[in-house]
Amino acid sequence: MTKEKFNEVINFAIAGEKEAIKFYQELQEKVKFHAQIEMLKEFENMEKGHVIILENIRNKGFEKIEIKEVTDLHISDYIVDMEPSEDMNYQDILIVAMKKEEKANKLYTEMANNFPGTELEQLFRKLASEEAGHKLHFETLYDDEILKEN
């Protein structure tokens, strides 16, 4: 793979992560309560961590990439996607976040499949695993705090 193609792929991934950062920042402007804002800042920071990982790979190259197995509770499979709004409650925020991370996981998995047997495949599998971990975090909160209340 040429250096130009490599940088193009890394730039694509960084752009996706920056879009996620912007998404969580915009959500912070829509919610009403301090606790919701703080939770969304935490989500934003998770995505900023991905940008740092990707920029380090672009600048320093690949190091050993460890891909974690992540449990999937499949809660988001049974929840309808929704648009962010100003009157979102905690449950709505979790749903929006779950669905966002689910989409990111699918995108990175598809990207990995485009580069079989390469370091880029491993990179995108790692990013997919990270997004799956975020989704698991939101699904666990949803299970513990929303489903158990009902």
Question: How many CB atoms sit inside 10 A of residue 120's CB?
Answer: 21
120-141 mean pLDDT: 92
Res. 65 pLDDT band, cuts 50 70 90: confident
pLDDT surpassing 80 at residue 136: yes
Q: If pLDDT is split at 50, 70 and 90, which confidence band does 78 have?
A: very high
Q: Where are the domains of the chain?
A: 3-147
Locate all alpha helices (DSSP H) within 1-150, ordered by sequence.
3-30, 34-60, 90-113, 119-142
Q: What average pLDDT does this structure show over 106-133?
A: 92
Q: What predicted TM-score, i.e. pTM, was given to this entire model? A: 0.84
CA dihedral 76, 77, 83, 87 (to 10 degrees): -40
- As a whole number of angstroms, the distance between CA 134 and CA 102 comes to 9
Class of domain 3-147: mainly alpha
Q: Which of 27-31, 73-77, 93-97, 114-118 has the lowest mean pLDDT?
A: 27-31
Q: At residue 150, does pLDDT exceed 70?
A: no
In sequence order, which residues have a C-beta less than 8 Å from that of residue 100 and are 6 or more positions away?
A: 20, 23
Tell me which of 28-32, 55-59, 143-147 is least confident. 28-32
Taking residues 45-65, report their average pLDDT: 87
Question: In Å, what is the CA distance from 62 to each residue of 32, 38, 54, 57, 124?
Answer: 42, 33, 10, 5, 12
In the predicted structure, residue 62 carries a pLDDT above the cut 90: no
User: Do the Cβ atoms of 112 and 124 come closer than 8 Å?
Assistant: yes
> Nearest Cα to 14, choosing from 58, 72, 60?
58
Work out whether the CA dihedral 107, 109, 114, 119 comes out positive or negative.
Answer: positive
Other beta carbons within 10 angstroms of residue 53's beta carbon come to 18
Condensed to tens digits (0 to 9), the pLDDT of residues 92-118 reads: 989 999 999 999 999 999 999 999 998
Contact predicate 36/90, CB 8 Å: yes
